[in-house]
Amino acid sequence: MDRAWCHGRFPVGSQPRSRLGCVIVLWRVCYAHTSRHSDLFKFADIPYASAPVNTTSLPIAGANGDVYIPVPRRPDAGAVAIPAQPPNSGEAAITGSPAWRAVAWVVPAIVTMAAASVGITGPGLWADELATWGMTGVSWPETWRQLGGTDATLGAYYVFMHLWCAVFGDSDLALRVPSVLAMAGAAAVVGRIGTRLLSARGGLVAGLLFAVLPVTARFAQEARPYAMAVFFAAVATLLLVRLLDGRTFPNGLAYALCLTVLCYVHLIGGLLVVAHGLAVWILQRPMLWRWIRTAVLGIIPVLPLVVLGRRQSAQTSWIEKDPWGAMEHYVQSFFGSALLTGAVLIIGLVGLGRQRASIVGGAVALIPTATLLAVGTMIPLWQQRYILFTVIGWVLLVATALERRGTVVVLAVSACLAAAAIPGQREVRTPAERLQDTKAAVALINRDFRPGDGIVYGLTDRGPGVLNRDIIAHYLPAERRPKDLLVQRPMRTAGYMVASECADVARCLGTTRRIWVLRLGIYPDPIAELDGTKTTVLRRDYTIAGAWQTTGLTIALLQRNGGS
């Protein structure tokens, strides 16, 4: 039995001479054969019988009818070992030691949090962030009435921020920290996705690229729901990958729940479902109907929000329907600068292919963008920040392209992308990136304020001018605020976000000696084109004593005629 060939001679069709010897020989053959090949096909998508057969290890019948059963030798030192598992198949796709797999998600999370923390309180809250702040200060009954009339699609985010600020306060830092945490969590999940679909190195590359992109820091420092939408989109994509690996019930339930939360955080995030559906159709067509049932389970609870949001479509009426201009702006600045955007898009397109990472990443990157652009030609919906979650797909595509290259190339390209991101990282921390320099505006008013001063706002200015009152209410203490001369019903009361104002402007201004005018937008004439009769009355009774323009805002100080 120690020889390479076991001459277990027994004529075909007759009983073997030694039953014990036959059993031992067959056991050795079966054990050697299955131990070598069973793991190979354990996770394979093809049946075992379709694998190539090594004929040298099969029993051989001699000319006289004797059967010779070869016992495989140990492979030679130079033999090519058969891999135990095929690449990119479920857990088999996770390569590297547990330590490296942990690095792939821990390091991107730390880098994202560190980058987002730099200059987080520098720029002031802009109009949309002030809308978030304003909703944190109203009573719960008023919150429900408010959401019934406006911003119902952001209701879940506003409720969360209301609870958050009740614990941590409503400073600029407190308002922005949830977005920082969400982006850091998203970076960790991106690293995990890359590890499952590529390798630990691929996950680390994807996570770090996500962390250093200026657009990541930009929205990690904004008190709006977009960072949270990125986080839940990343979690949903990770759960989809696990579903593709055959883990159905617990992951399916979590996946459906994650889709629901994503849509309630930001309704347009639901476009991710279209991307996931395409990925499933390409990668696992037999499970398409099972996935559809799971996705529908997650979408059904969102339908009331869709109906309510449709009734409030006036909230997006200010968006222009200009798809070509939107596409040009997307290419120029989506990731932070034209250079960086071009590099990411080109490398990402190189990463397109038949790999699972390419298909999942390509679907997440391209399908929601193309869908929103198409819808934006008919309905005013296109805004780049609405598809921020597609960054997940682009970094996966870049990681896939680099995964095929050597370590030197990966390091060189990664260093170039990080260097290209530096100017954008500086830019996203400037007031210009926030559209309005609210801190500069209130600094001007605070500097020249006198007791008895009043203030007038432009309600129909370019953009959400109705939120100008929030600038003063948030940044100036009560004793340093000019009196709101025209307000009758305050903002966010009786179910109305907009304040109601006095119709008789001259009567309500009274004999106020000095009046500040705060407007959203840049106006060479600070009192031109004001709503109602404001312009007429102010031109007649007041003289412009000073006018200033900051990023996105116009401030003026008016002196009553004949006064000092």
**So what's the pLDDT on residue 375?**
86
Q: Which residues of the chain have pLDDT under 50?
A: 1-20, 22-58, 60, 67, 72-94, 564
State the pLDDT at residue 42. Answer: 35
**Digit-coded pLDDT (tens) for 372-394:** 988 888 887 888 899 999 999 99
**3-class DSSP state of 4:** coil
Q: Note the pLDDT tens digit of each residue in 339-375.
A: 999 999 999 999 999 899 999 999 999 999 999 988 8
Contact of 343 with 416, CB cutoff 8 Å: yes
Q: Looking at residue 350, what is its pLDDT?
A: 93
- Model pLDDT, residue 26: 43
Q: Give CA–CA dist 356/362, Å, rounded.
A: 10
Rg (CA), the chain: 33
pLDDT at 318: 64
Per-residue model confidence (pLDDT) at position 4: 39
Note the helical H segments in 118-225: 127-136, 140-149, 155-168, 172-197, 200-212, 214-220
Of all helices (H) and strands (E), which one includes residue 291?
helix 288-299
pTM given for the model: 0.81
CA-nearest of 455, 444, 446, 422 to 558 is: 455
Three-class secondary structure of residue 559 per DSSP: strand
**pLDDT number for residue 95:** 54
- In this prediction, residue 451 carries a pLDDT of 95
Instruction: State the pLDDT at residue 349.
Output: 94
